[in-house]
Amino acid sequence: MLSGTAVGNICNVSAMLSRESIALAYPAISVSVWVIGLAFAMLAGGIMGLVVSYPALRVKEEWFLSMILLVGGETFRIVVTNTPQIGCGFNGLAGITTPFYWLSSYFPSGPLQAEVPTGLYAAVIVALALGCFVFAQKICNSPYGRLLKSIRDDKVAAESLAKDVSRVRKQIMVIGSVMAGLAGALYVYYIGVATPEDYIPALTFSIWVMMILGGFANNRGLLVGTFVITMLDRGSLVSGILLQSYLANLNPNLIVYGRYMVEAVILLLLLVFRQKGIFPETRIKTKAYTLFDFKKNNNAEPSNSPGEGPQTGGAASG
């Protein structure tokens, strides 16, 4: 009887509870479901990226692209919200546990019981994020990175050099979307619910701010940008809770709204006063420079290079 209802409706409370009890009892199922979940999320992300890239890369004006992407995201959100068959619609799917939830049965009840599985999972997320970062660094500091920058700078000129611009743009949309899919799945297993209302345009906006804060085409800058905005997010939550204990009638929503407003102001200030972000764009690091730098150093000629001078070699190897 239990299995009948649980299979019949995955959205109700009893299904949620049975998911949690299965996760607690069967570590192997728990971990493998997580792995399969991540794989499917990446696949789905990649397919979404590919589908959206079709219209997005065919439009004439540059800003149409941002609108198509906005339309794509909103379409997905509206479809998921209104289609209970996908992820239980507006209410979302709850009772998603971290892949290490079963560890809690090894601990006596207390803070450790909750914190160990979550902490371990957080460490896994950090490791995967690091993996993505290294991957991004590696493809940026390669001829492929050069190709990407050239397309950003001048599509027509890149085409005149036999570069298949639309193919590369499609590739990079898929790579980016796969990473975003991975991030979404990791996040959902962390917070325990998947609801479409978490993925509003304000989230995309936060990611833009992280990106521009760190500086265009600078992966390390992006880390800093992400750190700052995440600190703002978490910091605002914590300070909100602290403030509430002093100001009894403080409206907790104000903290969230205030954070969005601060992000908007940060972005505006950046655009007006420091468009390049905190850090300058990095040079593509391949061995090509070594030949020239060697010659320069031998002839002891005055430096022609801007800024801190070219960096060479395996700085990018992770």
297 makes contact with other proteins (CB under 8 A) = no
Question: For other proteins, which stretch binds (CB under 8 A), given 38-46, 62-70, 116-124, 234-242?
Answer: 62-70
Alpha-carbon span 184 to 156, nearest angstrom: 35
x/- binding map, residues 212-231, to other proteins, per CB under 8 A? x----x--------------
Nearer residue to other proteins within complex by CB, 107 or 144:
144
308 makes contact with other proteins (CB under 8 A) = no
235 makes contact with other proteins (CB under 8 A) = no
User: How buried is 221 (Cβ within 10 angstroms: 0-12 exposed, 13-18 middle, 19+ buried)?
Assistant: buried
78 makes contact with other proteins (CB under 8 A) = yes
How near is the Cβ of 45 to other proteins at its closest, in Å? 16
Question: For other proteins, which stretch binds (CB under 8 A), given 30-38, 113-121, 229-237, 252-260?
Answer: 252-260
Residue carrying structure tokens 């540059």: 62
Of the candidates 210, 209, 221, 207, the one whose C-alpha atom is nearest the C-alpha of residue 281 is 221
| Interacting residues with other proteins between 31 and 50 (CB under 8 A) | none
**Using CB under 8 A, which of 39, 79, 123, 203 touches other proteins?**
79
Alpha-carbon span 78 to 84, nearest angstrom: 11
Helix, strand or coil, per DSSP, at residue 104: helix
123 makes contact with other proteins (CB under 8 A) = no
Percent helix, strand, coil in the chain, to 5, is 75, 0, 25
277 makes contact with other proteins (CB under 8 A) = no
Alpha-carbon span 10 to 14, nearest angstrom: 8
Helix, strand or coil, per DSSP, at residue 241: helix
How near is the Cβ of 119 to other proteins at its closest, in Å? 30
Nearer residue to other proteins within complex by CB, 112 or 168:
168
Alpha-carbon span 229 to 206, nearest angstrom: 7
286 makes contact with other proteins (CB under 8 A) = yes
How near is the Cβ of 228 to other proteins at its closest, in Å? 16
How near is the Cβ of 184 to other proteins at its closest, in Å? 21
Question: For other proteins, which stretch binds (CB under 8 A), given 99-107, 223-231, 236-244, 246-254?
Answer: 246-254
Residue carrying structure tokens 């468009």: 275
Between CA 303 and CA 199, with CA 224 as vertex, the angle to 5 degrees is 135
| Interacting residues with other proteins between 130 and 189 (CB under 8 A) | 135, 138-139, 142-147, 149-150, 152-154, 156-165, 171-172, 175
The residues, ordered by sequence, that sit 6+ positions from 113 with a Cβ below 8 Å of its Cβ are: 104, 107
